[in-house]
């Protein structure tokens, strides 16, 4: 984990992002000697992990009623397409 000043990070932002993307580097950005931000690789997620997360949640028994109420409140929109 590397520390850089906010000024250095701003001046070399493209280089910082390249190192994050290609090398997996994490940067701590400091202002006045205090860490104010971190720039790190984004966490990867797959469809499988999203499905597992959703399946782990309890079933909402009121969902069909909520959905019906939402649909009842919608008004159809008529739009004319210009040629």
- Residues 18-46 pLDDT 10s: 999 999 999 999 999 999 999 999 988 88
Average pLDDT, the chain: 93
> Would residue 69 count as lying in a domain?
no
> Would residue 71 count as lying in a domain?
no
> Would residue 78 count as lying in a domain?
no
**What does the pLDDT read at residue 82?**
80
Residue found under tokens 């499905």: 51
**What does the pLDDT read at residue 33?**
95
> Would residue 37 count as lying in a domain?
yes
> Would residue 53 count as lying in a domain?
yes
- Counted domains in the chain: 1
> Would residue 13 count as lying in a domain?
yes
> Would residue 43 count as lying in a domain?
yes
> Would residue 48 count as lying in a domain?
yes
Above 80 in pLDDT, residue 83?
no
User: Sheet holding 34-39: strands in order across?
Assistant: 2-5, 27-31, 34-39
Domain extent at residue 25:
1-59
Torsion of CA 9, 15, 18, 22, to 10 degrees: -100
């Amino acid at each position: 984990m590397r520390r850089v000043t906010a000024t250095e990070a701003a001046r070399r932002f493209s280089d910082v992002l390249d190192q994050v993307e290609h090398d997996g580097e994490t940067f701590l950005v400091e202002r006045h000697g205090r860490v104010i931000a971190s720039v790190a690789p984004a966490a990867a997620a797959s469809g499988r992990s999203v499905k597992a997360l959703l399946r782990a949640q309890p079933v909402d028994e009121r969902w069909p009623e909520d959905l019906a109420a939402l649909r009842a409140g919608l008004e159809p929109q008529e739009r004319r397409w210009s040629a």
